[in-house]
């Protein structure tokens, strides 16, 4: 019998999107699932939708809790999970019908503690297109065609996975788009009370995984919407949590993986210019501006000369060597036109 896999879905005020997400999970070709719907004190009809779906499928468990934030809600799911493998799906996203099965097979075939896939952002107006794309994978499978016959899988050591994460290449900071062996979370939990908690956990999870398998094949579509945590325009002190976790990564690399220091510096540099691009004004946040400016200048030259860093990161670092205000403007442009993870 195939092992039990726990699917953790934090839910908060997503009544408009939740049904589409849950339909894509219930359509999985891998059937031995426990689906944990964690209602984090939703003020709309999300909690009722969770209960409605639980009445349709015995694999679904629903927990209604007071609002404590995404990190604590994910931790609740980890504590509850009975599966040999754990994966996370955000409650407004869509997954392909073979998402769980393909990730599980990758982990089993390679012995990796973590297996990840490609992903793609979408906006509300593109929802029907994404649903059809996800369903087409299932149609090809049911039609007797192996939709993954050409799937390429890269297997990385934990250090290679960390380098990819720090350089923002194949491995991202999000816990979605991947499956974890249960043992990865034996001593790991998301840090509560902060945003960008994904970044604070993922580098430790990659190390704990020992080996990481990755395919560029897109099996996960994440929704970009204005009301989500990462798409709010207001700048608050918690935006500095990105710097807080990037500093932890620097300390981690220095103390445990000195060979990864260039990659950790590149991650810190990117975090600084991203937060700088979000600052509404230099005078209002003078101390923060000076701290970010110093961080950018400290690493700009090294990052610009790092041939392992992505071209975009090196270009921004070269620009920072000339003008930090110009980097701020460029960062604002990138925030509006690309996804930053």
Distance CA 332, CA 328 (A): 6
Distance CA 85, CA 101 (A): 11
Contact present, 168 and 313 (Cβ < 8 Å): yes
- Residue found by looking up tokens 């925030």 in the block: 335
Distance CA 143, CA 154 (A): 28
Angle (nearest 5°) at CA 217 between 11 and 336: 60
Paired tokens of 265: 């510096």
Q: List the one residue out of 322, 324, 253, 313 whose CA is nearest residue 291.
A: 324
Q: pTM for the whole thing?
A: 0.91
- pLDDT confidence of residue 191: 96
Per-residue tens of pLDDT for the chain, all 341 residues:
899 999 999 999 999 999 999 999 999 999 999 999 999 999 999 999 999 999 999 999 999 999 999 999 999 999 999 999 999 999 999 999 999 999 999 999 999 999 999 999 998 889 988 988 887 766 655 544 444 545 699 999 999 999 999 999 999 999 999 999 999 999 999 999 999 999 999 999 999 999 999 999 999 999 997 655 444 445 566 789 999 999 999 999 999 999 999 999 999 999 999 999 988 877 778 899 999 999 999 999 999 999 999 999 999 999 999 999 999 988 888 777 665 45
Q: The dihedral of CA 273, 335, 14, 34: what is its sign?
A: negative
Write out the H or E segment, with its range, that includes residue 197.
Answer: helix 197-209
pLDDT digits (tens, 9 = 90+) for 203-252: 999 999 999 999 999 999 999 976 554 444 455 667 899 999 999 999 99
Which are the contacts of 253, defined by CB distance < 8 A and separation ≥ 6? 166, 260, 261, 263, 264
Contact present, 137 and 98 (Cβ < 8 Å): yes
Distance CA 218, CA 229 (A): 23
Report helix, strand or coil for 224. Answer: coil
Q: List the one residue out of 233, 229, 227, 221 whose CA is nearest residue 15.
A: 227
Surface-to-core class of residue 298, CB atoms within 10 Å of its CB (0-12 exposed, 13-18 middle, 19+ buried): middle
- pLDDT confidence of residue 284: 77
- pLDDT confidence of residue 144: 43
Distance CA 240, CA 251 (A): 17
pLDDT digits (tens, 9 = 90+) for 97-136: 999 999 999 999 999 999 999 999 998 889 988 988 887 7
Distance CA 173, CA 51 (A): 31
Contact present, 41 and 65 (Cβ < 8 Å): yes
Return phi, psi of residue 82, to 5°: -105, -5
Distance CA 308, CA 319 (A): 18
Following CA atoms 21, 22, 27, 33 in sequence, which dihedral angle do they give, to the nearest 10 degrees?
A: 120
Between the CA of residue 171 and those of 15, 86, 141, what are the distances in Å?
Answer: 30, 17, 27
291: number of Cβ within 10 Å = 16
Which are the contacts of 135, defined by CB distance < 8 A and separation ≥ 6? 27, 97
Contact present, 211 and 155 (Cβ < 8 Å): yes
Q: List the one residue out of 92, 71, 330 whose CA is nearest residue 224.
A: 92
- pLDDT confidence of residue 137: 67
91: number of Cβ within 10 Å = 26
Paired tokens of 143: 């039609």
Q: Spell out the domains of the chain, with CATH numbers in brackets.
A: 5-127+148-230 (3.90.550.10), 233-337 (no CATH)
């Amino acid at each position: 019998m195939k092992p039990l896999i726990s699917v953790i879905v934090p839910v908060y005020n997503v009544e408009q999107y939740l049904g589409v997400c849950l339909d894509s999970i219930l359509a999985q070709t891998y059937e031995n699932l426990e689906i944990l719907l964690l209602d984090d004190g939703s003020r709309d009809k999300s909690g009722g939708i969770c209960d409605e779906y639980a009445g349709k499928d015995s694999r679904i468990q629903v927990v209604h809790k007071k609002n404590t934030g995404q990190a604590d809600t994910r931790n609740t799911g980890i504590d509850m999970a009975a599966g040999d493998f754990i994966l996370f799906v955000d409650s407004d996203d869509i997954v392909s019908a073979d998402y769980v099965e393909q990730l599980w097979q990758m982990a089993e075939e390679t012995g990796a503690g973590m297996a990840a896939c490609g992903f793609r952002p979408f906006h509300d107006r593109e929802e029907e297109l994404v649903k059809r794309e996800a369903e087409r994978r299932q149609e090809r499978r049911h039609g007797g065609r192996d939709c993954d016959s050409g799937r390429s899988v890269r297997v990385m050591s934990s250090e290679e996975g960390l380098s990819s994460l720090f350089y923002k290449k194949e491995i991202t900071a999000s816990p979605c788009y991947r499956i974890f062996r249960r043992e990865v979370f034996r001593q790991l939990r998301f840090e509560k009370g902060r945003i960008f908690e994904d970044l604070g956990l993922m580098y430790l999870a990659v190390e704990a995984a020992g080996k990481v398998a990755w395919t560029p094949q897109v099996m996960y579509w994440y929704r970009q919407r204005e009301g989500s945590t990462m798409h709010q325009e207001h700048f608050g002190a918690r935006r500095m949590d990105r710097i807080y976790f990037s500093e932890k990564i620097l300390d981690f690399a220095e103390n445990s993986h000195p060979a990864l220091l260039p990659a950790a510096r590149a991650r810190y540099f990117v975090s600084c210019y991203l937060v700088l691009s979000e600052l509404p004004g230099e005078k209002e946040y003078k101390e923060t501006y000076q701290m970010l400016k110093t961080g950018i200048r400290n690493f700009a030259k090294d990052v610009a000369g790092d041939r392992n860093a992505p071209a975009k990161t090196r270009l921004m670092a070269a620009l920072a060597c000339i003008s930090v205000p110009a980097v701020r403007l460029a960062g604002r442009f990138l925030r509006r036109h690309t996804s930053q993870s």
